Amino acid sequence: MKNLKNVSTLSVPSGTGGDGCPWHRLKWASAEIWQEVAIAVLTVVVLRFIFIYFFALYQKNQRPGQVRCWPIVGSTMTLNANMNGLHDFLAELHEKNEVVWITYPFGLDGLYITDPASTEHMLKINFPNYPKGDEIQLRMRELLGHGIFAADGQEWKDTRKVASFQFSSAILRNFSADVFREGAIVLSRIVSQFAQSRLPMDMQNLFMRLTLDTTCKVGLGVELGCLSPSLPDVPFAKHFDLANELSFSRYLDPLWKFKKFLNIGNEKCLRKCVEGVDAFSYNIINQRRIDLEACKKDGSKVRPDLLSRFMSVLENSDEVFSDKVLRDHVVNFIIAGRDTSAVTLSWFIYMLCLNPEVAEKIFEEVTCLEQNESSPYNAEREDDPFIRFAEVLTFYNVGKLQYLHAALTETLRLYPPVHLDGKVADKDDVFPNGVKVKKGYLITYNAYAMGRLERIWGPDAKQYKPERWLKDGIFHQESPFKFVSFHAGNRQCLGKESAYLQMKMTAALLIRFFKFELVPDQNIQPRLMFVLTMKEGVQVIATPR
């Protein structure tokens, strides 16, 4: 009877409301059941998602060449664990695997390639499918803005068109040669002072000062005096280098966007460094505008530096470029003209110290050039051996230094300034080696690893051997998709010849007058930046010849 009463009560709802009402208790019971069902379904969905996620993660970790990845953070934990030797860590992976897979935070896939055919496919054959893309541009935006290194599409085409026209100018080439020669003389005098006292010097620091001076004079029309006898502090250079390093570190920091939003940690430091770079850049741009106005009024010629000529061309066109756009071009030009040449010369001196026989062959070549060439009598020249020799280093004569050209190129093969360069796949694609690429993948060619692979360069790939570039004493250029130190395809470096000119003039002067030896017990390692800068420089002792 008790059970029957309960059934009767439940079948006739009471209208009294209240918590004690049997009908109300039934509604609560039903709600609890649905809550349990919802929780059970949600649990199944979550568990299924976790299973699928970890199964996919497991499958990724089984791919040949996959850098070990973890939930959420991807491969960044593994890369950070190998940060001190990251370049060599990746190069070792490439020795076993043509493609190395990277999983970026939150599951974004990427791959590093070293196959010349795949590199050509990305940089030339299917070039439109591989722009810089948002993921790469975001990491570079504060420092490089929309300059030629970071730009895409029509923006990049317009910038490159104007820059290409200016780089082909004989006026700029002759102006550059004079500036490079003067800079090499000033540097040689400073090295001479160190040589007389037998004090060690950081050649990377000196080369960075040299190329910042020459880049700013050729590119921007300003003289910084970084190689003044007192070797003054250069705040802009410190801001620029640290901003470069912090921008690159975003690839290894899954929380960089969060830090940027809160303006904390590395992102706060990056913002301050960029402010220093901006102040320097805008000051130069304002000065060039004043100079151009003066040229208009008095009818004088535009200054020969690249920025003045660039701004002059824009003023006579329908394009309207803001100071921000010009600032981006200034910064991109500095990183192209200053960092790449200085980094190469630093590794070059390091390799000569390890291979003194190469230095002696270069010495024989430059002294032979000096003996075979003569220049008009000049009283100042007769009193200064550096000036006397530098006058022989004309644009034409420098081209005769074939072994020196090969030695510098061999340095670039093993220590490419732009060691990694990435693009983003715009559409699904298949590389010549059969690797399938999906839309959104980050594709990076690893120039550092490519220069060390036996399957590309033969069994002596890791040896410093300038002779590999010579045939009957004449320099022989390899495919730019095999030797990618100056990029390749549509975005090949416009300043390649200018860079070689400065490096050869500087190297010829230094080797003509000095021998170099390494200071013992140095830790020579690359710094993690967009360019292959030495972490602690390279200390050497110079001896007069």
Nearest-angstrom CA–CA distance, 298 and 302: 11
DSSP β-bridge partners for residue 471: 474
Integer Cα distance of 207 and 538 in angstroms? 11
Q: How far apart are CA 155 and CA 142, in angstroms?
A: 17
- C-alpha 480/C-alpha 496 separation (Å) is 12
Among residues 300, 306, 301, 271, the alpha carbon closest in space to that of 285 is found at: 306
**CA pair distance 243, 227, nearest whole angstrom:** 23
- Which of 102, 74, 73, 110 minimizes the C-alpha distance to 86? 102
Residue 139: strand, helix, or coil: helix
Stated as kind and residue range, the H or E segment containing 79 is helix 76-81
d(CA 249, CA 217): 30
Distance separating alpha carbons of residues 24 and 17, to the nearest angstrom: 7
Q: If you write DSSP's letter for every residue of 317-333 in order, what string do you get?
A: SS----HHHHHHHHHHH
CB 543 within 8 A of CB 517: yes
Determine the 3-state secondary structure of 350 from DSSP: helix
Q: Is 493 among the annotated ligand-binding positions?
A: yes
Task: Give the span between the Cα atoms of 23 and 407, in whole angstroms.
Answer: 93
Give the length of the chain. Answer: 545
Cβ-Cβ contacts under 8 Å for 483 (sequence gap 6 or more): 409, 412, 413, 451, 477
For the record, the structure tokens of 16 come out as 């009294």
Measured between its terminal Cα atoms, the distance across the chain in Å is: 119
Q: What are phi and psi of 135, to 5 degrees?
A: -60, -35
Number of Cβ within 10 Å of residue 34's Cβ equals 9
List binding-site positions for heme: 493
List binding-site positions: 493
